[in-house]
Chains A and B, each alone.
Chain A
Amino acid sequence: MIAGIPLTVLGGAAALLFAAIAAVTGTAAFSPAFVACGLLLLVAVGGAVLRRDDALGAAVVILSVHAAAVPLMLHIDSAPGEMDSGYWALLVSAWLMAWTSVTRLTQTSKKLPTGARRAVDLLIPLIFGLWLMLIWEAITRGAGVPQVLLPAPSAIWAKLTASLPILWADFVQTFLKAVIVGYVLGCGIGFGTAILVDRSPFLKRGLVPVGNMVSALPIIGIAPIMVMWFGFDWQSKAAVVVIMTFFPMLVNTLEGLSASSSMQRDLMRTYAASYGQTLWKLRLVEALPFIFNALKINSTLALIGAIVAEFFGTPIVGMGFRISTEVGRMNVDMVWAEIAVAALAGSAFYGALVLIERALTFWHPSNR
């Protein structure tokens, strides 16, 4: 009977049993929410055991475990910060059953048509993220972790929604100005230099080592110097971003330009194609995967560079400025709100690049 039941389900059932015993024997605080959560998890365990491989079982597990999350959170309010063993057992059980639900979801999705499978593939990281937040919330609030160490997601969210105008101003200053301008300039100059260097072996010997050296300069050293050169405002941060993004683009583009095979280049030679035609119709296309590699690396570098550069002098706006001042005032939830904005903007930036890359390099063996 037990054979064939996944370990996560067995663990979930055991933890649930432990929570029930703790509640009945009176060692655990008890609330209607506790009962509701326990019952919903029982349904999930039942679904997982009795309907082991059909879609109905999967649906029961997924629905009940996510419904159980609501009373689990509500129960914390009965005694915030001092949850007992019954609650932790319930949390472990919920976590294991959520894990089971994702496994079941992937199994069932294999039988679905392509469109639905795509949707499920998108859903899985969402569920994963949701449970990460839930567990974070449950631990910080359940155990009463001090706000300064790690605020609960709900506290961060409350701060975030309450300070939208400030966050927006910081976002405009740091992301829309310093990051975007610096990124476009840095990548553009790196790309242009690569084209020039590729044409002239002399430049290659001169410029690449210099570029290499510039890229090795520590950002902590450059940032104050850029402030002296370009002033306190976003221009000096954009300059830091230019320096950070230039070299990865140069190196990757150079490598990409030599990626075409000699037969492909011979073919262009037999057509008596001009330098420009060969560059445009062959070498740059072959270089696209390399160029996108640099664009993706640079999207993260640019955000880090712009935020850190603001630690070294800035007008009283900007994500880096906010982080450094709010940390000083122990307003850690505001720091986390900025981090959330940065993470969101960074992922969206990166994700957009990935989508464009897929569309442009569909022919590459790694994408087809």
Chain B
Amino acid sequence: MTDTEATAAARGAGSAGEGSAFRVIEARDLCLTFETNDGPVHALSSVDLTVDRGEFVSFIGPSGCGKTTLLRVIADLEQPTSGSISVNGMSPEEARKARAYGYVFQAAALYPWRTIAGNVALPLEIMGLDKAEREARIKRNLELVNLAGFERKFPWQLSGGMQQRASIARALAVEPDLLLMDEPFGALDEIVRDHLNEQLNRLWDRTNKTVIFVTHSIPEAVFLSTKIVVMSPRPGRVHDVIECNLPRERTLDIRETPEFLEIAHRVRDGLRAGHAYDDE
């Protein structure tokens, strides 16, 4: 993405409302209970969360603590039982209809009848972009996730990790100001994961996007984030919010520095405490 596009994006966020000009997510006392056959499941219980423009926020926590659910509430794929939430100063539904975000699902969810290029083109076709623009974006984003040359392959001809990268390219191609990513790198090997972590950090730093990122990896969370939200299960809630004020532009070496290890340590303690709380 170019710098002009980035400033244009920043202006777009500014028009969201004067009072909360840079507040992208504002959740107050958010609760969500699934009614299942074996009784209610409290997936989210009084969650408070604020995310400002340009932040990189990671959700980390044990399986089943409601990370995906919280992301889905932000994306208007799930309705909260109580509490309030706004996205870009609008309701999640209005934000979704305004195509305010791009969502990377926990699984690739590519359409098997479309080639890789066709899958990346899908949201662009829906947005009504012309062919030249679509092709430029497909090329740019497939290169970003190292999938250049695989345009004409079908998803089932690719490995699981390559499929997941294609789905990341698909979300990036929309060029949203807000990226919601649900364990996007979970299926990838360590080397590719490092590479994509760096790419994502650079993309975020350059374009001033807001990213909300779910992960199980502490180093990944610390490396990428400005803020780490530690969650704990049953009922799913926010256990701790850890600020992570490393420099915005990071290289993988940063993982050896004392500051990095110190934050990683606090995240680990937070996760342990969340688990212990659960055992009582």
- Residue ranges of A at the interface with B (Cβ–Cβ < 8 Å): 261, 263-264, 266-273, 277, 281-282, 285, 362-365, 368
Contact = CB atoms under 8 A, between A and B. Distances in A.
Given A261-B109, A263-B105, 9 more contacts: A264-B111, A267-B103, A269-B96, A270-B77, A270-B96, A270-B102, A271-B99, A271-B174, A368-B156
B123 A271 contact: yes
B126 A273 contact: yes
Nearest to B155: A363
Contacts, number: 48
Main SS class of interface, A = helix
A270 B109 contact: no
Interface of B is mostly: loop
Contacts of A271: 99, 122-123, 126-127, 174
B31 interface: no
Contacts of A363: 112-113, 154, 156
Contacts of A364: 112
A270 B103 CA distance: 7
Given A264-B111, A282-B111, A363-B156, A270 B75 contact: yes
A291 to B, nearest CB: 14
Contacts of A261: 109
Contacts of A269: 76-77, 96
B121 to A, nearest CB: 11
A282 B122 CA distance: 10
A240 to B, nearest CB: 36
A276 to B, nearest CB: 11
B105 A266 contact: yes
Contacts of A368: 156
Query: Which of the listed residues A268, A272, A277, A365 has the most CB atoms from chain B within 10 Å of its own CB?
Result: A272
A267 B99 CA distance: 12
B96 A272 contact: yes
Interface string B72-110: 000111000000000000000000111101110101010
B125 interface: yes
A282 B107 CA distance: 17
Nearest to A262: B77
A256 B174 CA distance: 29
10 contacts: A267-B105, A269-B76, A271-B174, A272-B99, A281-B122, A281-B125, A281-B126, A285-B111, A362-B113, A363-B112
Nearest to A274: B126
Contacts of B109: 261, 263-264, 267
B92 to A, nearest CB: 11
Nearest to A368: B156
B126 A266 contact: no
Nearest to A266: B77
A365 B101 CA distance: 32
Contacts of A362: 113
A267 B119 CA distance: 11
Contacts of A267: 103, 105, 109
A282 B114 CA distance: 11
A193 to B, nearest CB: 25
Nearest to A360: B113
